[in-house]
Structure 1
Amino acid sequence: MSSESDWRPIFGHDEPYDDQIDGIDAAIETAERSGFLALEGACGTGKTMLALTAGISLVRDPDSPFERVFVLTSVKQQLKQFEKDLRTINANLPDDWRAVSAMTLVGKADVCPYNLAGSGGIDDRNVYERCEGLRDRTRGLVSEETTAGSLVADAKSQQVGLADSQRGATYLEAADEPTPYPKEMPEYGGTVEYCPFYAQYLDDLPEDGDPVEAVPFDPTDRGLIETDDLVRLAAGRGSCPHSVMGALLPHVEVLVGNYYHAFDPTTVESFTGELIDEETFVVCDEAHMLEPRVRELVGDGVSDRALSNAENELSRVIEPVAAVEEAGTEARYGSDAKQQATAIREALAETDVTLGELRDTRRFLAALVDRLDDRVTAHLDEERPRWRENLAELDDDELPLRDPETPATDELTRWAEQNGFDARIWTRAESVCAVTGRILDTIEEEDKRRAAPPVGRTLGRWYRADHTEFFREIELERTWDDIHPDGSWRRAYTATYRLHNCLPAGAIGDRLDAFGGGVLMSATLEPLDVFAEVTGLDHLESEAERPVRTRTYGLEFPAENRASFALAAPKFTYSNRGDTDEATPTRRAHARAIRQVATSPGNVLVGMPSYREAEWAASVLSAVDKPVLLDEATDDVATERLKREFFEGGPKVLVTSLRGTLTEGVDYRGDRLSAAIVCGVPIINTASPRIRAVRTAYDRAFGDGFEYALAVPAVRKARQAIGRVIRGTDERGVRVLCDERYAKESWDSVRDLLGEAEREEFNPVGTDMFDYALEQFWGE
């Protein structure tokens, strides 16, 4: 069993906090028994350093089975914090220790030399399609026409004979590093494009042995390999950075990624699967987001556009064969059509898919598109009779395919059975569509992601998934596409057959069970017993006999530097507050509290349950002698611009929705924030069919669907927002939870859902005493 003397040289700072000592020891001892530590630690606990120290200590222990640490975080700010702490660890290791090797996982768009240089016909929109197509052609040339080394030499030879000044201008550069290749994509024989970076990687691969031998640099002595380092070191020597990153995965001690890298089935299958085993110590950061994020990743869906595109792809395989079967086709179409048909037949002969199955599946896809059109049209005719004249006014919508509160076979599956589309059609769709994609990749030279394979996978999963934990609906997402005629709902909507996993605990628990152990941590995990149930940890403990331990650490900073209030204002519920243009007693009480907090010295954050309520809150601040910034549901660029404006210059008030991105993962250190108020309990729309289905599933699994599926996540949102205020030892500030449900015990109270330390710290205060309490704190 490890002790502090074992991990202390790895810890990157002079002295650990008492909570860090306890947490590191608990994480190591639990992982040594193949278990997991669920840790809630307030800001200042040093959770990032705690988890890294525990994981690296196990990796460096010769008696431990752990070979790597895999960090997962859903927040970019936290990813940067892990990188920062890794640099700190390496900078303070004993002189005779080698640096801890580490790497952050990124996508192809971040490392493709052509994309970074804006060259070769590659950009952010097509980089994935182009990359796959170029790789396929490069592999094909190497296996059938030439060698990888020859392709590399041909690409380099395009620089030969140029004057030095010309050569410098034509070399492709990536991460400010010149590469050995021209800016334009080379072509083999003047006709077939290929990627020279990937060709070099293939040329470096050993025939038998570890792909790491193809890495053109030694990763063991570089510490943290940042994205620019990876591009510079790989592309500068002519090799593919993304392929090099893949080759390094099993050989780096610490990998930093996001939840996709462990829980998205496609990403795991194609990229990170070898990391998910008993030799990996996993760190799930911001683990309060684990359940909702994984629910999104393990759901599925297929849009009307994808169905139509897949139908078209099947037609492009079927029609050349059908055409040559007609008399006189060759005379009409020429010999090329016959050659294409022959190639398709030969490709089909190597599979278990028949031409008849291609036709049946195409007919099924066409029927699904027609059914979707009928269903959406009927819904809009009933709910919005004049919708064709008011397309611009349509909002997002949901069409449940069964009663959300009564598990049963959905209406689409029943309709399919009634129309002759039986189990064979559903389950064979995956194979039929996969074969279609492979054939098109062979006979068509364009670099394109095929629609058919994912459509087939979704249809197979739709049929196989049960009807208790999964909920099916038609999702209408507000978009705008002028390509469709006036009066068509497709002009205003993208419609998707959506398969929701209401209860992701099984998927989370199964994936965690594949790891050797680890830490799941956040500033807002309480109640920890609820967290253990909804993430499948309790199942691991009881069924797999893997220990699950818990730790909760409060704020380490001086208590006199903060004032924390649970303000007993009327419940900020829809039925109490009325519409935003109404001056109800509830709205008057919350408006007064918002203004009182907004007058605090320094920057103030106001968190509301929705963007509509945020707009109302901003409107009641007109008399406050500070600029008021309103966050709206816009893009990331606008949000970043608003954040910078808030941080710069004099004191301001920032009003936002608790569903936005400014209340989680944003660093309000120093004097960036001196007060925060959260109005109401931000429970999501309970009228949504999907939310009702989730609540029903949680009712059946845990007994209290409202608390587990709605109230607990809402309180965590509120706690995240008020947790932005105190971020350091010298910081002072006010934190306010404004709603009597935080302050009083009642049938719908959420006070018990706060952490134990928060229940002690957030003193209930009446609205009549709130002004005095604020003045007393700031006066002191």
Structure 2
Amino acid sequence: MVDTSLSEAESVPFVSPDPEWRTIFGHDEPYDDQVDGIETAIDTAVESGFLALEGACGTGKTMLALTAGLSLVRDPDSSFERVFVLTSVKQQLKQFEADLRTINANLPDEWRPVSAMTLVGKADVCPYNVAGAGGIDDANVYERCEGLRERTRGLADGETTAASLAGAARSQQVGLADSGDGADFLEAAGEPTPYPEETPDSEGGTEYCPFYAGFLEDLPEEGDPIEAVPFDPTDRGLIGTDELIRLSAGHGSCPHSVMGALLPNVEVLVGNYYHAFDPTTVESFTGGLIDEKTFVVCDEAHMLEPRVRDLVGDGVSDRALSDAETELSRVIEPVAAVEEAGAGTQYGDEAKERAETIREALSESDVTVGELRDTRRFLTALLDRLDDRVTGHLDEGRPGWEERLPDLEDREIPLRDPERPGTDELTRWAGHNGFDARVWDRAESVCAVAGRVLDTLEEEDKRRAAPPVGRTLTQWHAADHTDYFREIELERTWDDTRPTGSWKRAYTATYSLHNCLPAGAIGDRLDEFGGGVLMSATLEPLEVFTEVTGLEHLESETGRPVVERTYGLEFPEENRASFALAAPKFTYENRGDVDETTPTRRAHARAIRQVAASPGNVLVGMPSYREAEWAAETLSELDKPVLVDEATDDTATERLKREFFEGEPKVLVTSLRGTLTEGVDYRGDRLSAAIVCGVPIINTASPRTRAVRTAYDRAFGGTSGRSPDGASGASASDAGFKYALAVPAVRKARQAVGRVIRGPGERGIRVLCDERYAKESWNSVRGLLGEAEREEFRSVGTEMLEYALEGFRER
């Protein structure tokens, strides 16, 4: 590992008087750290390497990464052709868009603008969904789109042409308008389209999508699909979602298809982690972007490991199993019924024709009716096993649960000892009951064929359950039993249609397959890119980050360089007060339940009140929503409105955020597990102080958490050599705690207090309230702060906090 972190005093400005990247850089003068970061990113990417960069808020990381990547894309001697930005936070996506506009606004007149586009889903660009027309909405847009596209392709390849379909829709609209029956042109994103508001039918009565027909009409039989794009992307700069809809739908073409054609022809693409790490998305949409010609930017990279862990895991719910079982029956039963009735004429011609269609479809695959029956029997057995296992678990842990269904909470049922890798009980049960490796391994192919047969037989826009269920079952059997953990997850839901007294009324049960160590999946994917930057305000400790994301392994195995940089706040230090308060550890053992009055709770309540009394808006971050409610109660006598965040939907959270920003100063109390402490822009006077109570370590008793911790023990315990407080000589269990629990928790806390200071003119107070941040001890987390933060967050006792705060306010 190349350790090239620079302190502010050691930072050496780039010496070239006028490097090419300065023309691309969107502002008058870069910070010294930006100069160093841009030059380092360029030099590292030229060697096919990656820059792991922690930069405090205000470092200008977005502009740094875009400038480095674009300078390589515009360099005729470079092999890079595009920049692919990945971010998990919508606010950061908007920041990349804003910086791209800034770059284009400041390019020399003779330079063509940087072409760029943000990747969005079908729901965001489907003209019918945007207009609320054609019977298409957010709930069914994906199923309807796939069905309409398939029928449109079928019509264009058979009885007519794409041009005829698009032309017929245009003629239909003109005819309706001329007849005076009041029919209107469909309008999307403020732009009239050449088609009616309802999806048209072909002469044979088949519904189709005229926009997709219009795209196919423009698509050349041979050549680059970019020729089907009805506008020139090279001179438009950043193509926003509304602009994409207007330019495409106004021409009569499908915006989502146009977006797909643009992918390899745009210099900067902005998306999220799904676009690079979700196997399904990569296979169907973005795979062509992931190669050695792409400079990748992973923003908010501290979230890379947990997000990818979710993406490369898998699961199948009881509802999905039941639906897949039904779908297989709809393929099997027509054939079985005709066979049982024989060849006589008593059995209907329509049924015979359906059975013959199924036989023909199966004959074109390697799947037999016998395999369909075996797989259906397997699904039935899995459902019965799930019912027995959940019922038994509830009987043992919650006697009388049938009478108290509304009181049930989320639960996990491990299928092996989380701390002892080995074959899970479901796989063992299957083997003992006649479901051998072939049934597991063939499930994907069998279920995929069943889905295709039903698509042929049934003209309905519906996502089939069988193909993903089969894929999950095959993956379940293929994945190892060391790095993967299997369990049954019980998610608290409610379904009145399920029988009274059944657990299915209160729960959705899922056979879940978790990848405990996604480092391999992350590293393998990064290895497909030409190079890039992984950045965040909270990557430290960088040696942990490079291990859990596979970067260190990538460097040692392939020789691709991985360079580290850490940049602290460049804003005036006198504008901020940063304290690590030596209050008692805010653990359950110390604080007790929320209705108890313990010395720990009294100390933290006092600190919360002292910080909340600061002028301006104040953010209070707690380890959970329950503790957030307690913290709000401690502020009942505060002469300032107190807002309490709850575990609700995005709409309610946005409404709460707007209320916090508007009007008189307030206090916002939230959980550090929520969405208000990361990726939210608290610029200007939106936030003047923040306090975090405790180290927000997730539930250590969860079987999944224990499995992940064990996996990290095994993978990094022998090489880490560091305990959670940074001391040497740690045991393997210390490594597991550090990698799986302590580091992610401290990053949550750092993200929260990092919301306060966002610009050079801002002033604010930042408090980490827990002695584990303040003191070196066996369970200290002070060593997990960045070096600059350890120096800046000075330790103070609980009796001195009020004096320290007053001293800062007086300054």
TM over 0.5: yes
1:756 is aligned with what amino acid?
A: E
Q: How does 1:212-223 map to 2 (within 5 A)?
A: 212-223=226-237
1:658 pairs with one of 651, 667, 672:
672
Alpha-carbon separation, structure 2, partners of 1:164 and 1:528: 68
Partner SS for 2:23: coil
> In the alignment, is the contact (CA less than 8 A) between 2:116 and 2:239 conserved in 1?
yes
Cα deviation per residue 1:107-145 (whole Å; 9 max; x = unaligned)?
A: 000000011111111100000000001111111111111
Are the structure 2 counterparts of residues 263 and 327 from structure 1 closer, same or farther at C-alpha, using a change threshold of 3 Å?
same
Alpha-carbon separation, structure 2, partners of 1:719 and 1:314: 51
Are the structure 2 counterparts of residues 702 and 168 from structure 1 closer, same or farther at C-alpha, using a change threshold of 3 Å?
farther
Q: How does 1:33-52 map to 2 (within 5 A)?
A: 33-52=47-66
Larger CA deviation: 655-664 vs 113-122? 113-122
Larger CA deviation: 330-339 vs 175-184? 330-339
TM-score by length of 1: 0.99
Partner SS for 1:714: helix
The corresponding residue for 1:746 is 777
> In the alignment, is the contact (CA less than 8 A) between 1:323 and 1:329 conserved in 2?
no
Q: How does 1:155-554 map to 2 (within 5 A)?
A: 155-163=169-177, 166=180, 169-327=183-341, 333-554=347-568
**Is it true that 1:621 corresponds to 2:635 in the alignment?**
yes
Alpha-carbon separation, structure 2, partners of 1:442 and 1:454: 18
> In the alignment, is the contact (CA less than 8 A) between 1:743 and 1:763 conserved in 2?
yes
Partner SS for 1:8: helix
1:734 pairs with one of 759, 762, 765:
765
1:709 is aligned with what amino acid?
A: A
Alpha-carbon separation, structure 1, partners of 2:167 and 2:740: 59
The corresponding residue for 1:637 is 651
Q: Once the 2 structures are TM-superposed, how far is the Cα of residue 245 of structure 1 from its aligned partner?
A: 0.2
Alpha-carbon separation, structure 1, partners of 2:748 and 2:489: 25
The corresponding residue for 1:142 is 156
2:357 is aligned with what amino acid?
A: A
Q: How does 1:661-740 map to 2 (within 5 A)?
A: 661-703=675-717, 704-740=735-771
Cα deviation per residue 1:323-354 (whole Å; 9 max; x = unaligned)?
A: 11122686565210000000000000001100
Are the structure 2 counterparts of residues 71 and 330 from structure 1 closer, same or farther at C-alpha, using a change threshold of 3 Å?
farther
Q: Once the 2 structures are TM-superposed, how far is the Cα of residue 161 of structure 1 from its aligned partner?
A: 3.5
2:491 is aligned with what amino acid?
A: E
1:579 pairs with one of 589, 593, 600:
593
Are the structure 2 counterparts of residues 218 and 330 from structure 1 closer, same or farther at C-alpha, using a change threshold of 3 Å?
farther
> In the alignment, is the contact (CA less than 8 A) between 2:177 and 2:184 conserved in 1?
no
The corresponding residue for 1:769 is 800
Q: Once the 2 structures are TM-superposed, how far is the Cα of residue 163 of structure 1 from its aligned partner?
A: 4.7
Alpha-carbon separation, structure 2, partners of 1:163 and 1:309: 44
Alpha-carbon separation, structure 2, partners of 1:380 and 1:329: 51
> In the alignment, is the contact (CA less than 8 A) between 1:40 and 1:524 conserved in 2?
yes
Q: Once the 2 structures are TM-superposed, how far is the Cα of residue 165 of structure 1 from its aligned partner?
A: 9.5
Partner SS for 1:173: strand
Q: Once the 2 structures are TM-superposed, how far is the Cα of residue 257 of structure 1 from its aligned partner?
A: 0.1
Alpha-carbon separation, structure 2, partners of 1:303 and 1:684: 25
Are the structure 2 counterparts of residues 50 and 485 from structure 1 closer, same or farther at C-alpha, using a change threshold of 3 Å?
same
The corresponding residue for 2:128 is 114
Are the structure 2 counterparts of residues 172 and 2 from structure 1 closer, same or farther at C-alpha, using a change threshold of 3 Å?
farther
Q: Once the 2 structures are TM-superposed, how far is the Cα of residue 159 of structure 1 from its aligned partner?
A: 2.2
2:782 is aligned with what amino acid?
A: R
The corresponding residue for 2:140 is 126
Partner SS for 1:552: strand
Alpha-carbon separation, structure 2, partners of 1:502 and 1:625: 47
1:92 is aligned with what amino acid?
A: N
Residue identity over aligned pairs, in percent, reads 82
Partner SS for 2:19: helix
Cα deviation per residue 1:431-485 (whole Å; 9 max; x = unaligned)?
A: 0000001000001000000000000000000000000100000000000000101
Larger CA deviation: 25-34 vs 145-154? 145-154
2:380 is aligned with what amino acid?
A: A
The corresponding residue for 1:91 is 105
Cα deviation per residue 1:66-116 (whole Å; 9 max; x = unaligned)?
A: 000000000000000000000000000011000000000000000000111
Alpha-carbon separation, structure 1, partners of 2:605 and 2:626: 15
> In the alignment, is the contact (CA less than 8 A) between 1:2 and 1:28 conserved in 2?
no
Alpha-carbon separation, structure 2, partners of 1:329 and 1:156: 48
Number of residues paired by the alignment? 780
Are the structure 2 counterparts of residues 166 and 654 from structure 1 closer, same or farther at C-alpha, using a change threshold of 3 Å?
farther
Alpha-carbon separation, structure 2, partners of 1:183 and 1:639: 34
Alpha-carbon separation, structure 2, partners of 1:468 and 1:28: 38
> In the alignment, is the contact (CA less than 8 A) between 1:572 and 1:681 conserved in 2?
yes
CA RMSD, 1 decimal:
1.2
Alpha-carbon separation, structure 2, partners of 1:463 and 1:470: 11
The corresponding residue for 1:559 is 573
> In the alignment, is the contact (CA less than 8 A) between 2:176 and 2:183 conserved in 1?
no
Cα deviation per residue 1:584-606 (whole Å; 9 max; x = unaligned)?
A: 00000000000000000000000
> In the alignment, is the contact (CA less than 8 A) between 1:2 and 1:29 conserved in 2?
no
The corresponding residue for 1:759 is 790
The corresponding residue for 1:15 is 29
Alpha-carbon separation, structure 2, partners of 1:350 and 1:374: 38
Q: Once the 2 structures are TM-superposed, how far is the Cα of residue 160 of structure 1 from its aligned partner?
A: 3.0
> In the alignment, is the contact (CA less than 8 A) between 1:330 and 1:337 conserved in 2?
no
Partner SS for 1:696: helix
Are the structure 2 counterparts of residues 669 and 332 from structure 1 closer, same or farther at C-alpha, using a change threshold of 3 Å?
farther
Are the structure 2 counterparts of residues 487 and 61 from structure 1 closer, same or farther at C-alpha, using a change threshold of 3 Å?
same
**Is it true that 1:646 corresponds to 2:660 in the alignment?**
yes
> In the alignment, is the contact (CA less than 8 A) between 2:183 and 2:196 conserved in 1?
no
The corresponding residue for 1:152 is 166
Alpha-carbon separation, structure 1, partners of 2:173 and 2:792: 69
Alpha-carbon separation, structure 2, partners of 1:303 and 1:2: 59
Are the structure 2 counterparts of residues 769 and 197 from structure 1 closer, same or farther at C-alpha, using a change threshold of 3 Å?
same
> In the alignment, is the contact (CA less than 8 A) between 2:276 and 2:282 conserved in 1?
yes
Alpha-carbon separation, structure 2, partners of 1:297 and 1:750: 29
Cα deviation per residue 1:32-73 (whole Å; 9 max; x = unaligned)?
A: 000000000001100000000000000000010100000000
Alpha-carbon separation, structure 2, partners of 1:395 and 1:154: 55
* Deviant stretches of 4+, over 6 Å: none
Alpha-carbon separation, structure 2, partners of 1:472 and 1:718: 30
Alpha-carbon separation, structure 2, partners of 1:753 and 1:331: 79
What are the ranges of 5 or more consecutive residues in structure 2 without an aligned counterpart?
A: 1-13, 718-734
Q: Once the 2 structures are TM-superposed, how far is the Cα of residue 190 of structure 1 from its aligned partner?
A: 5.0
Partner SS for 2:691: strand
What are the ranges of 5 or more consecutive residues in structure 1 without an aligned counterpart?
A: none
Alpha-carbon separation, structure 1, partners of 2:181 and 2:110: 44
Q: Once the 2 structures are TM-superposed, how far is the Cα of residue 223 of structure 1 from its aligned partner?
A: 0.3
> In the alignment, is the contact (CA less than 8 A) between 1:609 and 1:659 conserved in 2?
yes
Partner SS for 1:701: helix
Q: Once the 2 structures are TM-superposed, how far is the Cα of residue 494 of structure 1 from its aligned partner?
A: 0.2
Partner SS for 1:347: helix
Q: Once the 2 structures are TM-superposed, how far is the Cα of residue 164 of structure 1 from its aligned partner?
A: 6.0
Alpha-carbon separation, structure 2, partners of 1:419 and 1:21: 65
> In the alignment, is the contact (CA less than 8 A) between 2:91 and 2:680 conserved in 1?
yes
